[in-house]
Chains A and B, each alone.
Chain A
Amino acid sequence: MNKKAALFMPTLAIATLFLLTYSFYVFIIKDPGTHYYSSIGDNQVSLSNTYSNVEKDLLYTEQVVKYSLNKATEKFLEHGGIKEECIKTWVFNDPTCNPALEENFKMYLAKELANYNKELQEIEFKGSLIRVKLKDIRYHDKLNDFEYNYIVKNEFTLEFPLELEKLNKVKSEIKKCVDDGVKLEDCETTSNEEKKGNLVYFTIENNKNVFSFIPTPGFRKMNTTFTVDKQKPAQKLEF
């Protein structure tokens, strides 16, 4: 073996050893991040999870609004379209017992929504539908290099289980009789009237199904009955 051939193998071995050592230093010691597992797509997964949670929350809230509408309608009809303390007696222009039907319904609905920890912001009556707006929900997350705010509008348009137009029509007819000085027992309205003692009771059928627990849980059509009081001071001032 000549001298050059004898030097070749040791030189090659030392050079290879040097390259491997250097590679080990560069890829393993100097930049260990490339060696270990790192989770990918955290931001995307977080967004995706938020979207799923939003969908679940929206379904929950929609149901809450639906059931609150039902319960509010039931209470509203049960109390003759006015506040509970008025004992089904309408008193026009009275600060408490005035049959401001839309306002009274909103009050009942707000109470029912509060039982589910929901805050009513506004409602809009749209014929047989009702638009209910609750407080918007904000979803927020902050990751290492990623932050987002996702604001979801809590607004629902649902079937309105109350025939408010029918009630408003009867209200106008009664108001006209009162304004014209017509006796309530002689007042012609689209409701059923019944005289009990000195009082005339008006009964209106709500032709939409309302969920009620009485007598058994189920959907049924409900009536509302009320009377009109002309003896209160507020009425004497007006008529």
Chain B
Amino acid sequence: MKKAQEELTFVFGLILLALLLTLFFIVVNIASISKTEQRIDALVTNEVNINMLNYLRTIDKKTNQSTIDLIVFSYHNDNYEDLKRFTQEFFDRYHDKQKCQVMQVSLFRTSDEELLFRLFSTGDLVTRKDEYLQSTLSTLIPTYDQDLKLYYIEGCKK
């Protein structure tokens, strides 16, 4: 009888140990969730949107035109040299190569989607895919005959 009682106590002790371990893992799990850093990627995209608008509104000192006007002027004259020079200067000034792998500007004609202009700057960062956020934004640019579509890409560390 006494032996049976001891065995019963031993079994309940094991059950209690299992429950306590379960409780421990739940607590650890909850604690690790609360430590997770929350990020809102949509707001990062908006930041890139502001960068794109800044790029388009910046005045090129050489031609005394804003980038958006320079794009239109280049398109009508079919000569993108000034746009290339200015965009390269913009990349040199603002592209943080430690943080961003790529910055790119592409320009397409909307009527036939032909690529008119593309320039990109590459950084030297090697990062895990989940740490990297590529934001591709586009905007329409009116000209004297048709709209152009500009793609602005920033691939940076989150």
Contacts and interface: CB of A to CB of B under 8 A. Distances in A.
Contacts of A56: 49, 53, 139
Where chain A touches its partner, the secondary structure class is helix
A213 B140 CA distance: 22
Interface string A17-49: 100100000000000000000001100010011
A65 B42 CA distance: 31
A59 B57 contact: yes
Contacts of B49: 52, 55-56
A64 B19 CA distance: 70
Given A13-B19, A60-B142, A67-B143, A52 B46 contact: yes
Nearest to B43: A48
A49 B46 contact: yes
B100 interface: no
A218 interface: yes
A10 interface: yes
Interface residues of B, number: 35
B158 interface: no
A17 B139 contact: no
Nearest to A116: B142
A24 to B, nearest CB: 10
Interface in B1-50: 2, 5-6, 8-9, 12-13, 15-16, 19-20, 22-23, 38, 40, 42-43, 46, 49-50
Given A52-B49, A59-B139, A20 B9 contact: no
A128 interface: no
Given A16-B19, A217-B73, A10 B8 contact: yes
B24 to A, nearest CB: 12
Nearest to B23: A20
Contact of B16 (A13, A55, A63, A218): A13
B76 A1 contact: no
Given A20-B23, A218-B77, A67 B142 contact: yes
Q: Which 9 A-B residue pairs are closest in the complex by CB-CB distance?
A: A217-B76, A45-B42, A52-B49, A13-B16, A13-B12, A10-B12, A9-B12, A13-B15, A16-B19
Interface of B: 2, 5-6, 8-9, 12-13, 15-16, 19-20, 22-23, 38, 40, 42-43, 46, 49-50, 53, 56-57, 68-69, 72-73, 76-77, 139-144
